[in-house]
């Protein structure tokens, strides 16, 4: 196991199969491992056996249009058996290409893995729906629901990106989400104004983050320890205040007015993308803005360059006159504010009151999305969407009655993450100095 | 492995941690993990203090030694956490709220209300965890203490698992999942097989330990083979184990016949731990096994070759590698042993306290185990003591909620604050005014200036 992996430049899109990419691999003498081709082949075979050969000869129907669209598209109907065979053959083709590349000592490019995942998910979906009692689901609803479920995950993983890029591991995303959800609920209830609640959620997330920053930067306490403990602390404080304050006077403290769904006229009636992009709550729109702003900020501005320098090589950054610890402190605080906004989604958009542990471990899935998305805002966004998709699919397949137990569907995001960190999507490496406190001298 | 740096780089600057070499580094700098991994393994997630169980820094006088030593910091940290928890309790108390309306007219009322609110809860906590003077008999008076020991049992063994992994430089957040997998196997052996007395219980114990060891060892194997970070792996494995348990509890093999709830059959009488002090207390054999496990871990860490290797890997994987220690093997082994210890907690739950398998088998013991290990500074006996303390909190909190209406969640707050404070000795000493006064104004001014300029940049 060598650590001298020629990892792509952070933030740059995967160089893939460009001559430069292969060139670095050759220069650093890094052997291309068999891991990716072998894993792809294995999953291709699984797809062939389960989704292809063992698929029921039933037609799966995917509704595309909803009643609100301004033109209707016919539902997509495919034969589960035929589609399974075709898709799994395509998957095996991709795997074979990866094997061929390996034999040339070239790594599998990023697009190959991504398209493999997309095709695999499609094959899986057709198989699940085809085997259901009622083999018909609304694709539009499935995707729109996935985006909705992904909103807190996206904010959480953006928080992770902001913190880890500057060299602080943020395990406290869960606590930031929970703190945001609680504060949004209580402040919005007291002021009867959801926008003030949203603002308060950001402040609450930032406060949790400041504790993380204070302990990990000033007192040099291990960042993972602080994160783990902060999750417990926030869970305890919010649980305590929920039982004592909110339960005692629900009307005054736990009935926040919600943020309404804002529909953009005309655009929101476009099939599929309409509901995703133009029929969202304020938090949902903020999500898209945040992803873009963080991406542009990190990779196109001077601030972002400094942040990444601090996260990759704090000593070099210090030598160039960047104040490492101050940069870390404010970035971590900003990350907390972002996660806090994500937390407000639970109490201002999804449900209209706070309950204990309302974030339900989503902070950890956001952490997984961050890694799966390779510490890149855009990547984290799509990873979070994938996890939101799995989450939504889980509830849908329970309704339509498939042979797959819902517990296994619920398990999927975690299994996928294990595969991801174990190297399916290439070696995922975080910022070099992430988790290491910086002491000048 | 293949890191072939020229010798001049050996000081560790390639990993951006050259500050270690500087003797002028602050006392706090020593808290930074001393392991310059840089090699095949991830840098240790665990700070040096957690690994060595000692506090760095050079106290000069005996008095200072007593007041700034690690033991004193621990006591003060607990005190500080209790005070903050008490303030939180008081802040939601009705009496405090009413007296605060005429705070400036009669501040004494307000202060006594605050004092009463906090102490009432803590007295209830004490009575629920150690000694209840209102019990009818001596046996009843000590019943709370027995309950504390019962709850401490899984905390101690799982805490030992986390602590052992800490010492080897691994951050094992996976005790929760390891308890669950152990619980699954142990419970299945307990209710599905029907074996003679003695053998059955032994098999239950072995099955649980193997289950935990498998789940922990799998993480170790993945880390050793692929370099994946164990924190992420263990978090994910916790969820996988939980959903797998939920699935099993809905299958005929695990669901109690004639029951629609996800609950397993009751374990055979031959498969459960005997109660140590008779049937009036829930305290079971598992507690004695937890003591045995503590001794075993102490021996393993301090007296055995394997334990030395673990500590060497924890202190500096690269140096350990150079010295001929097989780091990968150590990683797998330490995670398997840690999992096995957490597995004992699973057995204590299904064969001792609960006697059935539900999806709440691990409760929050796996996560509490992390705080237990941190509080115990990753030493076996420290973990044991911390397990007792948190067991007392848990047991007492139930009584506290019944008597005073203070929610159990306050225990989470106090626990997490204790760990936070213990991890930051300078903070605790600053709060109690015990910090050595050197260079402090200069540093503070510098950092303030830094904050303003750096933030704007």
A418 close contact with B: CB closer than 8 A: yes
Q: Which two tokens stand for residue A95?
A: 């795997």
- Cβ of B46 and A222 within 8 Å? yes
> What is the C-alpha to C-alpha distance for residues B262 and B251, in angstroms, rounded to an integer?
9
- Per-residue pLDDT band for B65 (boundaries 50, 70, 90) equals low
What does pLDDT average to over chain B?
80
Mean pLDDT value of segment B53-68: 49
Residue whose entry in the numeric block shows the structure tokens 């004193």: B72
Helical ranges in A104-138 per DSSP H: 110-130
User: Which tens digits make up the pLDDT trace of B224-240?
Assistant: 888 888 888 998 899 99
Residues of chain B with Cβ-Cβ distance to A240 below 8 Å are: 88, 92, 407, 409-410, 412-413
- Per-residue pLDDT band for A69 (boundaries 50, 70, 90) equals low
More confident: B113 or B43? B113
CA distance A340 to chain B (A): 20
- Determine contact, residues B310/B173, Cβ cutoff 8 Å: no
| Least confident residue range of B109-118, B173-182, B315-324, B332-341 | B109-118
Residue of B446, B454, B439 whose CA lies nearest to B28: B439
CA distance B138 to chain A (A): 34
Mutation target for B interface from A224, A240, A315, A390: give the one with most B CBs within 10 A.
A240
Mutation target for A interface from B232, B237, B329, B369: give the one with most A CBs within 10 A.
B232
* pLDDT for residue B67: 55
String of b and e for B266-278 (b: at least 16 CB within 10 Å)?
bbbebbbbebbee
Backbone angles phi, psi at A263, to 5 degrees: -100, 130
Res. B39: pLDDT tops 50: no
- Determine contact, residues A367/A171, Cβ cutoff 8 Å: yes
- Per-residue pLDDT band for B386 (boundaries 50, 70, 90) equals very high
Q: Which residues contact A418 (CB under 8 A, 6 or more apart)?
A: B222, B228, B233, B236, B237, B240
* pLDDT for residue A323: 93
Backbone angles phi, psi at B37, to 5 degrees: -65, -75
CA angle B132–B128–B273, rounded 5-degree value: 105
Nearest beta carbon to residue B247 from set A237, A303, A405: A405
* pLDDT for residue B375: 85
A3 close contact with B: CB closer than 8 A: yes
Q: Which residues pair with A137 in a beta bridge?
A: A62
| DSSP per-residue string spanning B298-327 | HHHHHHSHHHHHHHHHHH-HHHHHHTT--H
- Per-residue pLDDT band for B436 (boundaries 50, 70, 90) equals low
CA distance B338 to chain A (A): 18
- Cβ of A220 and B40 within 8 Å? no
Mutation target for A interface from B33, B220, B240, B375: give the one with most A CBs within 10 A.
B240
Mean pLDDT value of segment B28-38: 35
User: Which tens digits make up the pLDDT trace of A297-354?
Assistant: 999 999 999 999 999 999 999 999 999 999 999 999 999 999 999 999 999 998 888 9
Environment class of residue B66 by beta-carbon count within 10 Å: exposed (0-12), middle (13-18) or buried (19+)? exposed
Residues of chain A with Cβ-Cβ distance to B18 below 8 Å are: 315
A182 close contact with B: CB closer than 8 A: no
- Cβ of B424 and A219 within 8 Å? yes
- Cβ of A407 and B232 within 8 Å? no
Count A/B contacts: CB-CB distance under 8 Å.
213
Q: Which residues contact A155 (CB under 8 A, 6 or more apart)?
A: A177, A287, A290, A338, A339, A341, A342, A343, A345, A366
* pLDDT for residue B31: 35
This prediction has a pTM of 0.81
> What is the C-alpha to C-alpha distance for residues B391 and B191, in angstroms, rounded to an integer?
28
- Cβ of A415 and B229 within 8 Å? no
- Cβ of A421 and B26 within 8 Å? no
Residue of A32, A368, A294 whose CA lies nearest to B239: A368
The sign one gets for the Cα dihedral A86, A91, A97, A99 is negative
Residues 306-365 of A with CB under 8 A from B: 306, 313-315, 322-323, 325-327, 329-330, 356, 361, 364
Mutation target for B interface from A234, A304, A321, A326: give the one with most B CBs within 10 A.
A326
- Determine contact, residues A278/A268, Cβ cutoff 8 Å: yes
Residue of A425, A416, A385 whose CA lies nearest to A142: A385
* pLDDT for residue B10: 39
Q: Which residues contact B22 (CB under 8 A, 6 or more apart)?
A: A441, B29
A240 close contact with B: CB closer than 8 A: yes
What does DSSP say about strands A261-263 and A279-281: parallel, antiparallel, or unpaired?
antiparallel
| DSSP per-residue string spanning B253-307 | TTSPTT--SSBPPPPPGGGSPPBTT-TTS--BHHHHHHHHHHHHHHHHHHHSHHH
Residue of B436, B57, B29 whose CA lies nearest to A441: B29
Nearest beta carbon to residue B92 from set A230, A245, A423: A245
- Cβ of B236 and A418 within 8 Å? yes
* pLDDT for residue A298: 94
- Per-residue pLDDT band for A166 (boundaries 50, 70, 90) equals very high
Environment class of residue A133 by beta-carbon count within 10 Å: exposed (0-12), middle (13-18) or buried (19+)? exposed
Residues of chain B with Cβ-Cβ distance to A356 below 8 Å are: 409
Q: Which helix (H) or strand (E) holds A60?
A: strand A59-63
Mean pLDDT value of segment A206-214: 95
* pLDDT for residue A225: 86
What does DSSP say about strands A136-138 and A76-79: parallel, antiparallel, or unpaired?
unpaired
User: Which tens digits make up the pLDDT trace of A241-271?
Assistant: 999 888 888 888 888 898 888 888 878 777 7
From residue A405, give the alpha-carbon distance in Å to each of A84, A400, A408, B143, B237: 20, 12, 6, 44, 18
Res. A172: pLDDT tops 70: yes
Locate the chain B residue with the closest alpha carbon to A367: B232
Residues of chain A with Cβ-Cβ distance to B33 below 8 Å are: 222
């Amino acid at each position: 196991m060598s650590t001298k992996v020629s990892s792509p430049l952070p933030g740059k899109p995967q160089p893939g199969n460009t001559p430069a990419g292969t060139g670095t691999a050759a220069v650093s003498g890094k052997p291309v491992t068999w891991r990716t081709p072998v894993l792809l082949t294995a999953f291709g075979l699984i797809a062939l056996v389960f989704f292809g050969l063992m698929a029921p000869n039933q037609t799966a129907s995917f509704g595309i249009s909803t009643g609100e669209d301004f033109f209707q598209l016919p539902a997509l109907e495919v034969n589960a058996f035929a589609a399974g065979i075709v898709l799994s053959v395509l998957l095996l083709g991709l795997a074979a290409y990866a094997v061929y590349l390996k034999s040339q000592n070239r790594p599998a490019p990023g697009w190959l893995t991504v398209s493999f995942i997309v095709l695999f998910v499609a094959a899986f979906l057709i198989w699940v729906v085809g085997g259901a009692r009622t083999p018909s689901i609304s694709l539009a609803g499935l995707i729109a629901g996935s985006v909705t479920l992904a909103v807190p995950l996206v904010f959480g993983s953006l928080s992770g990106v902001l913190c880890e890029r500057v060299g602080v591991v943020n395990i406290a995303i869960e606590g930031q989400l929970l703190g945001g959800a609680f504060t949004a609920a209580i402040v919005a209830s007291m002021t009867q104004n959801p926008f003030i609640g949203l603002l308060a959620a950001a402040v609450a997330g930032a406060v949790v983050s400041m504790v993380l920053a204070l302990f990990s930067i000033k007192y040099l306490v291990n960042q993972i320890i602080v994160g783990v403990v902060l999750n417990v602390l926030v869970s305890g404080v919010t649980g305590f205040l929920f039982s004592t304050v909110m339960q005692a006077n629900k009307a005054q403290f736990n009935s926040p007015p919600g943020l309404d769904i804002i529909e953009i006229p005309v655009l929101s009636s476009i099939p599929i993308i309409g509901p995703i992009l133009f029929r969202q709550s304020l938090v949902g729109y903020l999500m898209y803005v945040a992803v873009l702003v963080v991406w542009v900020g990190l990779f196109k501005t001077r601030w972002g360059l400094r942040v990444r320098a601090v996260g990759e090589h704090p000593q070099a950054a210090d030598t160039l006159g960047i104040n490492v610890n101050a940069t870390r402190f404010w970035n971590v605080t900003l990350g907390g504010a972002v996660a806090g906004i994500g937390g407000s989604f639970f109490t201002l958009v999804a449900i209209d009151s706070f309950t204990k542990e309302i974030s339900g471990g989503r902070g950890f899935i956001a952490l997984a999305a961050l890694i799966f998305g390779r510490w890149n805002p855009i990547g984290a966004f799509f990873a979070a969407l994938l996890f939101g998709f799995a989450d939504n699919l889980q509830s849908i397949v329970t309704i339509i009655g498939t042979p797959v137990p819902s517990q296994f569907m619920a398990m999927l995001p975690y299994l996928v993450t294990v595969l991801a960190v174990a190297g399916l999507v290439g070696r995922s490496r975080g910022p070099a100095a992430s988790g290491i406190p910086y002491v000048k001298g | 492995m293949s890191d072939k740096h020229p010798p001049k780089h050996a000081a560790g600057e390639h990993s951006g941690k050259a500050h270690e070499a500087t003797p002028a580094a602050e006392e706090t700098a020593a808290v930074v993990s001393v392991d310059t991994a840089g090699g095949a393994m991830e840098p240790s997630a665990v700070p040096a203090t957690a690994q060595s169980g000692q506090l760095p820094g050079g106290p000069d006088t005996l008095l200072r030694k007593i007041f700034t030593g690690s033991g004193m910091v621990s006591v003060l940290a607990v005190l500080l956490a209790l005070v903050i928890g008490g303030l939180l309790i008081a802040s939601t108390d009705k009496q405090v709220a009413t007296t605060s309306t005429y705070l400036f007219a009669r501040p004494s009322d307000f202060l006594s209300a605050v004092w009463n609110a906090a102490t009432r809860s803590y007295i209830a906590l004490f009575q629920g965890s150690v000694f209840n003077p209102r019990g009818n008999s001596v046996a009843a008076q000590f019943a709370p203490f027995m309950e504390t020991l019962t709850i401490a049992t899984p905390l101690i063994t799982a805490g030992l698992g986390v602590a052992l992994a800490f010492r080897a430089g691994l951050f094992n957040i996976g005790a929760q999942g390891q308890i669950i997998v152990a619980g699954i196997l142990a419970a299945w052996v307990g209710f599905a097989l029907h074996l003679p007395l003695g053998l059955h219980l032994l098999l239950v114990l072995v099955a649980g330990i193997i289950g935990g060891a498998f789940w922990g060892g799998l993480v170790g194997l993945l880390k050793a083979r692929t370099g994946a970070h164990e924190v992420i792996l263990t978090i994910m494995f916790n969820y996988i184990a939980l959903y797998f348990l939920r699935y099993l509890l809905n299958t005929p093999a695990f669901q109690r016949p004639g029951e629609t709830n996800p609950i397993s059959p009751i374990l055979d009488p031959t498969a459960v731990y005997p109660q140590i002090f008779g049937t009036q207390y829930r305290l079971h054999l598992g507690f004695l096994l937890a003591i045995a496990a503590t001794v075993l871990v102490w021996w393993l860490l301090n007296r055995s070759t394997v334990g030395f290797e673990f500590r060497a890997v924890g202190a500096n994987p690269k140096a350990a590698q150079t010295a001929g220690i097989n780091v990968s093997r150590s990683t797998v082994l330490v995670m398997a042993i840690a999992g096995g210890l957490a597995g004992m907690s699973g057995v204590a739950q299904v064969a001792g306290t609960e006697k059935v398998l539900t999806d709440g088998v691990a409760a929050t013991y796996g996560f509490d185990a992390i705080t237990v290990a941190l509080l115990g500074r990753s030493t076996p006996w420290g973990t044991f003591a911390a397990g007792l303390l948190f067991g007392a909190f848990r047991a007492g909190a139930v009584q506290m909620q019944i008597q005073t209406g203070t929610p159990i969640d306050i225990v989470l707050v106090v626990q997490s604050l204790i760990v936070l404070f213990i991890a930051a000795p300078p903070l605790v000493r600053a709060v109690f005014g015990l910090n050595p006064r050197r260079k402090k104004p200069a540093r503070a001014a510098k950092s303030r200036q830094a904050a303003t300029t750096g933030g704007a940049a």
